[in-house]
Chains A and B, each alone.
Chain A
Amino acid sequence: MTESVKSPFNIQIGDELTWNVQPILHEIRHALRTLLETGNGSIIDLRSIPLAPGEEDTILDALGCGEVHAKLNALGPSEIYETRFSGVWMVTHYNAENDVISRFIEITRFPNILESQREDMTTSLDALEALLDTTPGSDKTETHAETNT
């Protein structure tokens, strides 16, 4: 039994009137087992669950923080960290005003949002080539490098 935590409305988190904390933690447990056995990941959208005041914090406290912590700056900030349970990630997206716009628990080896995307890499390659083409003496530099190799 988790330790009783008082919410602003005096609802005793951890007693029999706590509704979603334990089921979500069990869902994560099942999802982690599935990931280990089949390699298939899962995503839980915390915004689709009717959480009582204080319950989301209780879930976050229960999961804790692990070894990896990443921040994105893509249409507003995003915070991604692995919880103390390996394979269980917390992904929170904010808008430009720092309001939470979505919060997911991802049970996966690595959240997809952190991977470099093919389209972005293609654009980057174009940009890098354009940069080198326009840099004075770049042709000479490349020719010299190619000669040496």
Chain B
Amino acid sequence: MTKDLSPKDKTLGEALRSQGISRRSFLKFCAATASMMALPPAMIPTIAHALEKAKRPSVIWLSFQECTGCTESLTRAHAATVESLIFDSISLDYHHTLQAASGHAAEAAREAAMQEHKGKYLLVVDGSIPLGNPGYSTIAGISNVDMLIDTAKHAAAIISVGSCAAFGGIPNAKPNPTGAVAVSDIIKDKKIINVPGCPPIPVVITGVLTHFLTFGTIPELDHLGRPKVFYGQSIHDRCYRRPFYDKGLFAETFDDEGARLGWCLFKLGCKGPSTYNACATTKWNGGVSFPIEAGHPCIGCSEPNFWDGGGFYKALSMPTENISKTAVYTAAGAVAGAAAVGIMNRYTRGKADDTHEKATIDDLEK
């Protein structure tokens, strides 16, 4: 006889079966999940086994100084069926952009979720936190920094979604009028998973949530707190235009022969060599394309201080050495070459940081 469990007590397997979803459908869901989490297909049975037993975690989502682009990205995740299953299997107890309640009623919901799931809830943050003057951003009269500290205290894990929460993002760009900082600048005693991007790729957001749901642990992180499974390789290393780079074939302008032939966009400001993200494989809009495929250089939006890097179309992309020499290095060894370019770009970035100048419309049009 089936136990009569409340939705909150059911495991994901029980919840899906009660909705009449077949085991075959569940296996399909697990296959798509493995692909989404960039895990090898051999992991599908493991995922199935873990998800079968997973329980719905409570999620509190705080939005601070942000443009709502991260939530827009998430709610437009292309794999609607899979994502809806993920969201059916979490309890989104507070998200003031999506929830119907507002003001004190919304805050009461947050406090109730914190109390009921003390030490077990997931805290997701998008947006940076202003330290300059609390009045720049408050919710129900509570400053962002107070709300973050209060909510983070008993969270099982914290996920900083978007470059603003992860690194300060655009609010943190010079001259940073609000004194915007990242979550990690305030919360020091908890592991924080950074999911940067402006916005992050939707399936990367859900992939991180799914990883927690599946394995109950946080994924392996890089030195910037980003999950290696999505941010482990540079855009450049996974770019289908990379062989043009190795051949020294570059578009010099947006309308020259090289651009028409799909050559490398390095000289047009592509930040691919110093940017770590999954755009080149996961892509956007249901896997249709990504900026480089559409003919635009990567702007490096998942890296710290990308807005102050010296201009999307010049500083980072301007080779500090003869590019043909760099191409020889990379042809000799792709990984070593990418590292060399990465170092070169970090040097350029550092230099750009030191001699930062305000971007103007003229710069953008160059």
Contacts and interface: CB of A to CB of B under 8 A. Distances in A.
A48 B261 CA distance: 25
A27 interface: no
B114 interface: no
A100 B286 contact: yes
B31 A104 contact: yes
B280 A50 contact: yes
Contact of A53 (B24, B27, B286, B293): B293
Interface in A37-80: 43-45, 47-53, 55, 72, 74-76, 78
B22 A74 contact: yes
Given A19-B243, A50-B239, A95-B82, A120 B28 contact: no
If over half of B's interface residues share one DSSP class (helix, strand or loop), that class is named, otherwise mixed; here it is: helix
Contacts of B136: none
Contacts of B240: 19, 50-53, 55
Contacts of B243: 17, 19
Which one of A19, A102, A120 has the greatest number of beta carbons of chain B within 10 Å?
Answer: A102
Given A47-B287, A50-B280, A93-B28, A101 B22 contact: no
Interface string B24-52: 11011101101110101110000000000
Contact of B80 (A10, A49, A96): A96
B28 A97 contact: no
Given A9-B262, A113-B27, A99 B79 contact: yes
B356 interface: no
Contacts of B293: 53
Contacts of A93: 28, 31-32
B24 A113 contact: yes
A74 B31 contact: no
B99 interface: no
A101 B41 contact: no
B28 A10 contact: no
A120 B24 contact: yes
A102 B80 contact: no
Contacts of B21: 75
A78 B282 contact: no
Contacts of A51: 240
B281 A49 contact: yes
B117 interface: no
A11 B263 CA distance: 9
A138 to B, nearest CB: 22
A119 interface: yes
A58 B94 CA distance: 46
A10 to B, nearest CB: 5
A97 B85 CA distance: 15
Interface of A: 7, 9-11, 17, 19, 43-45, 47-53, 55, 72, 74-76, 78, 91, 93, 95-97, 99-102, 104, 112-113, 116-120, 123
23 contacts: A11-B262, A43-B41, A43-B42, A44-B41, A45-B41, A50-B238, A74-B24, A75-B28, A78-B28, A95-B78, A95-B79, A95-B80, A99-B80, A100-B286, A102-B32, A102-B34, A104-B35, A112-B27, A113-B24, A116-B24, A120-B22, A123-B17, A123-B22
Q: Nearest 3 A-B pairs (CB), nearest first?
A: A9-B262, A43-B41, A52-B240
